[in-house]
Amino acid sequence: MNTDLLISVLKRAAQRGATAADGYLVEESHFGASVRMREIETLRHSREQRLSLRVFAGRASAAASTSDLSRESLERVVDEATALAKVTAEDPHAGLPEPSALIERVPDLDLADASDDLSPEEKIEIARRAEAAALESDSRITNSEGAEYSDRRARYAYATSHGFAHDYATTSFGISVAPIASRNGEMQRDYWYSSARKRARLEDPVAVGRTAAARALRRLGARKMKTVEVPVVFDPETAASLVRSIAGAASGPSLYRRASFLLDRLGTKIAAPAVTIVDDALIPAALGSRPFDGEGLATGRTVLVREGVLESYLLDTYSARKLGLQSTHHAGRDGSGVSISTTNLMLLPGKTTPQELIRSVKNGLYVTELIGFGVNGVTGDYSRGAAGQWIENGELAYPVEEVTVAGNLLAMLAAIDGVGDDLVLRDRTVAPTIRIARMVVAGT
């Protein structure tokens, strides 16, 4: 029935003179409960829907979207988009994928939880237990930014004027806790979370709360360091942010704009041999999985980097045509049109334990938090605020804050001389612990 609405919108676009069109419809409902200092703080409840439409007038295109699905509103959206397409310029690479490339059978990736919904009280209780576990784990946990439980049910439908029309449903659930540890006037906040497509796969709220508390506590007594050049070990969370930066530089629009440090590097060595990065859309019940991309193309497993060699870019139909390549079926879809989006993006694990990686460092930094936006995707120049633990003679010695870590992403990738065995698919982009041979840590 979701696709019926899309099909009628596409028909109207054709009547208005569109030579081709596609539409995307998202309907979702969301519930969020947050608790702070054991009291309910905010409960949120919402239902939303959004239809986005892309129309082509020959090789010219335009996009429009609306959250108002009344007939008048949809007619207005179609009329505006077709009018807009007629005034924009022709672009020889614009257009839908070839109909023959569209997926025929939509795989069932088990993305929706079929179990009964919990009552609001039960949801609140999950958040309350998670926060209580953090507050009770140590007397130095004195305050909290709160804990949250959330769930989301969504249905995505996609249709094209070629006749493609499919939809699929997903659910997602999350728990997060952000406790504050304090001692002698110093305050440190940290957080931990768990998210999953199936509620039963969420980590125990008590465990999430305790981990969050332990992360905040280990930051107490943080020092600033002297500026040095040392080995740097990134924990899985911060290592994942490096993987996201690589994906950004490997995405089609960055490449055809010549705004990427990975330009002209396909098939060449861009990282140490220990580095293999894979994007896999078909892992059952995983957070990033999807049965087809935002243009109706079959998703699969893409090896982005194999043993240090850049094997593939991340492309949609348009950027692939611009670059004279094939789409890698990474079109994402949001309210404003088509963009590149990864699915389950993973830096594959090595054989070393994270403890061994830390033990291999005589004097260096173990990074557990990065802040700021200091990554230049054009040059790969990298400079971000960091916090973590100082490593002395292979042991975590004391917490460190107010420092930066800096280098160049290509040099950093080449200098990865240790990859941990601790990969856990707990988010859409994940990595194990990694060690970079040398980086500049700036402090006093």
User: What residues from 192 to 231 belong to the interface with another protein (CB under 8 A)?
Assistant: 219, 222, 224, 227-229
8 A C-beta contact, residue 191 and residue 178: yes
Helices (H) and strands (E) in the chain, counts: 9, 20
Choose, by CB under 8 A, the member of 15, 38, 187, 284 that binds another protein. 187
Residues 325-354 binding another protein (CB under 8 A) are 335-337
Task: Please tell me whether residue 29 binds another protein under the rule CB under 8 A.
Answer: no
Rounded to the nearest whole angstrom, what is the least distance from the CB of residue 253 to another protein in the complex? Answer: 9
Phi-psi region of 423 (alpha: psi -120 to 50; beta: other; left: phi over 0): beta
Please state the closest distance from residue 348 (CB atom) to another protein, in A: 29
Least distance to another protein, CB of residue 62, Å: 4
Cβ-based neighbours of 214, under 8 Å, separated by 6 or more: 137
Residues within window 46-65 making contact with another protein, judged by CB under 8 A: 46-50, 52, 60-65
What's the min distance (Å) between Cβ of 99 and another protein? 24
Task: Tell how strand 337-340 and strand 331-334 pair up.
Answer: antiparallel
Site for another protein in 90-109 (CB under 8 A): 90-91
Residue from 376, 394, 397, 414 binding another protein (CB under 8 A): 376
181 in Cβ contact with 217 (< 8 Å) = yes
- Backbone CA torsion sign across 327, 293, 424, 399: positive
**118 forms part of the interface with another protein (CB under 8 A):** no
Nearer to another protein, 107 or 120 (CB): 120
List CB contacts of 301: < 8 A, sequence separation 6 or more: 278, 279, 280, 281, 282
Output 335 or 394, the one with its CB closest to another protein: 335
Site for another protein in 379-438 (CB under 8 A): 379, 381, 383-385, 387, 401-408
Q: Please tell me what DSSP assigns to residue 18.
A: -
Residues 64-83 binding another protein (CB under 8 A) are: 64-68, 73, 76-77, 80-81
Integer angstrom CA distances of residue 46 from 27, 89, 167, 196, 246? 11, 39, 21, 20, 35
The interface with another protein within residues 273-302 (CB under 8 A) comprises: none
Does residue number 38 form part of the binding site for another protein (CB under 8 A)? no
Neighbours of 334 (CB within 10 A): 14
